[in-house]
Amino acid sequence: MTLDHLTYTDTGTGAPIVLIHGSVDDMRTWSYQTAPFSAHHRLITYSRRYHWPNTGADSATAYRATDHRDDLAALIEELELGPAHLVGASYGAVVALLLAATRPELVRSLVLGEPPAFNFLDRAELEANYRTQILPAKEAYDAGRPIDGVEHFLNSIVGPGAFARFPRGARQVALDNAPEFGLEARSTPEEFFGPLTASDLRSIQTPALLVRGERSPEIFGRVIDVLRSNLPNARYLLVPGASHAMHRHNAPLYNTAVLEFLDAVG
């Protein structure tokens, strides 16, 4: 089904969960969560704007966190889901945080899988991360080599050589979303991260589960540390044997822990 420019699925009954995917990805990333999450919940899985199979990346001018936040709010309101449990992976967790800060009445709980909210860190670390993670990808796109840009980015957030080891299906998902990542790489930090600052986190009273992969790059752990220090109602989960895509790398543990958390929130 589609809601204007967003494609989504709506399955199951019960307290609603909305799954929010990350960069160079789409709704297909949640295949390991669909059955267990929809068994006792109403489950909404959607592809964010510009992500497969949605269109528009080629004609867009910027990739804005606030646009994705507003899309999520519209989805919740149109489907009469609120307040909903929001389960975000990577950039999807940034979107979920922004919504919780600005529209708390729409959010029942937050599951935040390593949000790349590097703007919460000091400027030197933010700039160093841009030089090593984003700038080489942008240069590849500017040179007409988008696949190289995608590969560099994914290797930087999952681990060296990771893209070459991706299963065929996961590799195809990344390639299908290459156009949108060109937008991400060219967006300004203000557009990409949105207006939320570390000090704003203290106003978010929503129960939150902060999820980190045991093998993820350390910079994600430093963001999680900021969240743990500032979110008033947060719990922490370390997923053994997993890197940044912990919902896929150790799905059984992730699914059990997330569902237990949501049940505890009610």
SS3 category, 52? coil
Number of compact structural domains in the chain: 1
Reply yes or no on whether the pLDDT at 4 is more than 80: no
Which residues, in sequence order, are bridge partners of residue 39? none
Structural domain contains residue 54? yes
Structural domain contains residue 64? yes
Q: Is residue 57 within 8 Å of residue 81, measured between CB atoms?
A: no
Least confident span in 39-48, 77-86, 129-138, 253-262: 129-138
Nearest to 91 by CA among 24, 156, 22, 153: 22
| Containing structural domain, residue 69 | 2-126+192-265
Residue type, 145: R
Name the band, by pLDDT with cuts 50, 70 and 90, for residue 264: very high
Structural domain contains residue 133? no
Structural domain contains residue 96? yes
Name the band, by pLDDT with cuts 50, 70 and 90, for residue 136: very high
Nearest to 57 by CA among 155, 184, 142, 160: 184
Percent of the chain with pLDDT over 70: 99
Structural domain contains residue 16? yes
The model's pLDDT over 57-93, given as tens digits with 9 standing for 90+, comes to 988 889 999 999 999 999 999 999 989 999 999 999 9
The model's pLDDT over 176-196, given as tens digits with 9 standing for 90+, comes to 999 999 999 999 999 999 999
Q: What is the pLDDT of residue 245?
A: 94
Q: Residue 129: CB partners within 8 Å, gap ≥ 6?
A: 118, 121, 219
Extended strands (E) in the chain = 2-3, 6-11, 16-20, 42-47, 84-89, 107-113, 208-213, 234-239
Structural domain contains residue 169? no
Residue bearing tokens 């994600």: 220
pTM: 0.96
Name the band, by pLDDT with cuts 50, 70 and 90, for residue 5: confident
Q: What is the pLDDT of residue 51?
A: 97
Q: Contacts by 218-226 with C-beta closer than 8 Å and gap 24+?
A: 219/118, 219/121, 219/125, 219/129, 220/114, 220/116, 220/157, 220/244, 222/121, 222/125, 223/114, 223/115, 223/116, 223/117, 223/118, 223/120, 223/121, 224/114, 226/117, 226/120, 226/121, 226/198, 226/201
Structural domain contains residue 70? yes
Mean pLDDT of 33-43: 98
Q: What is the pLDDT of residue 63?
A: 96
Structural domain contains residue 173? no
Exposure of 78 by Cβ count < 10 A (0-12 exposed, 13-18 middle, 19+ buried)?
exposed
The model's pLDDT over 203-255, given as tens digits with 9 standing for 90+, comes to 999 999 999 999 999 999 999 999 999 999 999 999 999 999 999 999 999 99
CATH code assigned at 219 = 3.40.50.1820
